[in-house]
A and B are shown apart, each in its own frame.
Chain A
């Protein structure tokens, strides 16, 4: 058995152990959430927070260290495979760091979590691979009245600008730190009439 195989197995064991831990946390949170009304009240807007120190350090140096439970595993695969082209930034890491981040992402991805917000994200992402959080239709819908334009508006990546407990994985409306800047009403764009497809003549 080679050294790299051994270290890989160790990483897998750690990842599975951490997953088990996350699952239990998720159950506790969900049990607690049963007392709440529903997602609209924000009680269900909870993910298991990112706690791994490596994840925190590597992902958190330029933006919130998003919980792995905010995106499906296939999204994380794509993100972690293209860190050298990360939304216009070079966020590349050493291969061994990338492998550890991938293990953390795989273990905590939305479909591996029982946290309510993760489950909502999984349901909303069927058939698509969201590359960013607002590619998840549910999250886009929840923010469709928020303006991210203008010098003082928060960047879409800066969850914590409004969600005071984002770092703890809590995104409920009751914990929004300031009124979200509301987008000015936009006149509905007229939908062009469908162009009939020409039927080829035999």
Chain B
């Protein structure tokens, strides 16, 4: 089972091209912090998962569509958000960490674990496929 997961993760990465150096660097850090092997399927499930909050149900898809190739819209300001697959995304580790911080707290009401971040990155670099 582990092998199948590993192979599917690798083939997903190949399909989308090699992950940006920023992603590799962050994944190494998450692994060092105890994250299990990144799993795009778990990342996809987390992306769609709904979390209750005082202001209503929240999820990643409150702002980013489930189809990562489509543009999103800021839930509060209505400002357009570039597709997660847009060129230049996932190339700056500090920026990725900044948005994980803000968006995990907004969506889930807590920080993401290293494992959740690793799974989400695996999902995002695969382009959602």
A93 in the interface (beta carbon within 8 A):
yes
Residue of A nearest to B106 (CB): A90
* CB 8 Å contact bits of A158-181 with B (1 = contact, 0 = none): 100000000000000000000000
Residue of A nearest to B82 (CB): A61
Number of A-B contacts (CB under 8 A): 35
Closest Cβ–Cβ distance, residue B22 to chain A (whole Å): 16
Closest Cβ–Cβ distance, residue B88 to chain A (whole Å): 12
A87→B76 contact, CB < 8 A: yes
A90→B98 contact, CB < 8 A: no
Q: A62-B79, A155-B77 given as contacts; is B106 within 8 A of A94 (CB)?
A: no
A89→B78 contact, CB < 8 A: no
A149 in the interface (beta carbon within 8 A):
no
B70 in the interface (beta carbon within 8 A):
no
Picked from B77, B78, B102, the residue with its CB within 8 Å of the CB of A90 is B102
Residues of chain B whose beta carbon lies under 8 Å from any beta carbon of chain A: 55, 74, 76-79, 94, 98, 101-103, 105-106
Residues of chain A whose beta carbon lies under 8 Å from any beta carbon of chain B: 61-63, 87-94, 154-155, 157-158
